[in-house]
Amino acid sequence: MPESQIAGIPVHFPFEPYPVQRAYMEKVIQCLRDGTNGVLESPTGTGKTLSLLCSSLAWIRTRQSEQQHQMVKMEKGDLPGLGGAAGADLSELAKTMARANNWGVPKVIYASRTHSQLTQAMRELKRTAYSNMRSVVLGSRDQLCIHPEVMKEQGNSNKTNMCKLRVHSKTCSFQARVESRKDHPDLRGPTIMDIEDLVKVGQRLKICPYFASRELVAQADITFMPYNYLLDPKARKANKIELGNTIVILDEAHNIEKICEESASVQIKSSDVAMAIEDVTHVMKVFASGESQDMGADEPKDFTLDDLTLLKEMLLELEKAIDAVVVENVGEGTTFPASMMYELLGKANFTYGNVATIVSLLDKLVQYLLVASQQMSIRKGGTFTMLSDLLTIVFANKEDVMTKVHASFKVHVQVEETKQQGQGKQQGVNKQGWLSKGTIASANSSSKMAKIINFWCFNPGFGMEQLLNTQVRSVILTSGTLAPLKPLIAELAIPVAQHLENPHIVDQSQVYVKIIGTGPDRQQLISNYTNRDNPKYISSLGQTILNVSRIVPDGLLVFFPSYPMLNKCVDAWQASGLWADISAKKPIFLEPRSKDQFTSTMEEFYQAIRDSKGAVFMAVCRGKVSEGLDFADRNGRAVIITGLPYPPLKDPKVILKRRYLEANRTRENQLLSGQEWYNLDATRAVNQAIGRVIRHRNDYGAILLCDSRFKDASQVQQLSKWIRGHLGDRPQCSPFGPIVRELRQFFKNAEANMKQPDERESEPALETVCKTEDEPLAAIPKIKREPGSNATFKAANERAIKVEMANSIKTWSPADYASAAGQKLGGSAPNAMDFMSRLDSNVSSIDFNCCMDSKSGSSGLVKIHKRERSSPTPPETSSQVAKKRYKLVENIKMEPISSQVKEAPESRADFLRELRSLVNQDEFRRFGKALLEYKSGTDESFQALMTVLWEVLAAPKMRYMLVGMRKYLKNEHKGEFDQRLAKL
> CA angle 23-26-29, nearest 5°?
155
Q: Indicate the DSSP class of residue 813.
A: -
List the beta bridge partners of residue 455: 266, 411
Q: Indicate the DSSP class of residue 637.
A: S
- Binding region: 145, 163, 172, 208
Q: What region, left, alpha or beta, does residue 7 occupy, with left being phi > 0 and alpha being psi -120 to 50 degrees?
A: left
**Peptide bond just before 484 cis, omega within 30 deg:** yes
Tell me, what's the pLDDT at 882? 46
- Binding region for [4Fe-4S] cluster: 145, 163, 172, 208
CB 443 within 8 A of CB 289: no
Cα–Cα dist 630/69, whole Å:
42
Q: Which amino acid is at 216?
A: L
> CA angle 46-51-57, nearest 5°?
170
> Which are the contacts of 417, defined by CB distance < 8 A and separation ≥ 6?
443, 450
The answer to whether residue 915 is domain-embedded is yes
18 and 167 in a single domain? The answer is yes
DSSP H helices, 378-475, are 382-394, 402-408, 423-427, 460-468
Tell me, what's the pLDDT at 97? 57
Phi, psi of 933, deg, nearest 5: -65, -40
- Element containing residue 912 per DSSP (H, E): helix 908-918
398: CATH: 1.10.275.40
The answer to whether residue 91 is domain-embedded is no
358 and 378 in a single domain? The answer is yes
Q: Which of 859, 887, 882 lies closest to 870, judged by CA?
A: 882
Cα–Cα dist 782/794, whole Å:
11
140 and 20 in a single domain? The answer is yes
The answer to whether residue 786 is domain-embedded is no
Phi, psi of 733, deg, nearest 5: -70, 135
969: CATH: 1.20.1160
521: CATH: 3.40.50.300
Cα–Cα dist 574/580, whole Å:
7
DSSP 915-927: HHHHS-HHHHHHH
Cα–Cα dist 811/159, whole Å:
55
DSSP H helices, 191-304, are 195-205, 209-217, 227-231, 233-238, 256-263, 270-289, 292-296
269 and 202 in a single domain? The answer is no
The answer to whether residue 546 is domain-embedded is yes
CB 501 within 8 A of CB 41: yes
Cα–Cα dist 657/257, whole Å:
12
- Element containing residue 38 per DSSP (H, E): strand 38-41
> Which are the contacts of 431, defined by CB distance < 8 A and separation ≥ 6?
316, 438, 439
Tell me, what's the pLDDT at 832? 38
List the beta bridge partners of residue 337: 410
Length of the chain: 984
> CA angle 181-182-185, nearest 5°?
85
623 and 491 in a single domain? The answer is no
Report the SS3 class of residue 518.
strand
Q: Which of 984, 976, 943, 944 lies closest to 960, judged by CA?
A: 984
Phi, psi of 383, deg, nearest 5: -70, -35
226 and 277 in a single domain? The answer is no
Cα–Cα dist 222/780, whole Å:
55
Query: What is the per-residue burial (b if ≥16 Cβ within 10 Å, else e) of 501-511?
Result: bbebbbeeebb
DSSP 147-216: -HHHHTSSSHHHHHHHHHHHHHTT--HHHHTHHHHTT-HHHHSSS---HHHHHHHHHHHTS-HHHHHHHH
Mean pLDDT in order along the chain per 10 residues (984 residues): 88 91 95 93 87 94 86 65 51 58 80 85 89 89 88 80 83 89 81 86 91 87 89 79 89 87 90 91 81 48 84 93 89 91 93 90 84 67 86 83 87 79 40 43 53 93 81 90 83 89 86 93 91 93 95 93 94 93 92 81 89 89 80 89 92 93 85 89 90 84 93 85 82 88 92 69 31 34 37 48 44 50 41 43 47 43 43 41 48 44 77 80 81 76 85 83 85 83 80
Residue range(s) defining the domain that contains residue 920: 908-982
Cα–Cα dist 283/967, whole Å:
43
484 and 371 in a single domain? The answer is no
- Element containing residue 334 per DSSP (H, E): strand 334-337
Tell me, what's the pLDDT at 645? 94
Cα–Cα dist 485/27, whole Å:
15
Whole-number Cα distances in Å, 613 to 107, 527, 616 = 47, 30, 10
281 and 240 in a single domain? The answer is no
Q: How many domains does the chain have?
A: 4
Three-class SS of 211-223 = HHHHHHHCCCCEE
597 and 704 in a single domain? The answer is yes
516 and 496 in a single domain? The answer is no
The answer to whether residue 901 is domain-embedded is no
533 and 486 in a single domain? The answer is no
The answer to whether residue 773 is domain-embedded is no
Q: Indicate the DSSP class of residue 852.
A: -
The answer to whether residue 875 is domain-embedded is no
- If one counts every other C-beta atom within 10 angstroms of the C-beta of residue 425, the result is 10
Rounded to the nearest 10 degrees, how much is the dihedral formed by the CA atoms of 940, 944, 947, 951?
180
372 and 403 in a single domain? The answer is yes
Q: Which amino acid is at 35?
A: G
Within 437-569, strands assigned E span 451-457, 474-479, 498-501, 511-515, 555-560
The answer to whether residue 756 is domain-embedded is no
How far is CA 458 from its chain centroid?
Answer: 26
Tell me, what's the pLDDT at 935? 74
Phi, psi of 148, deg, nearest 5: -60, -35
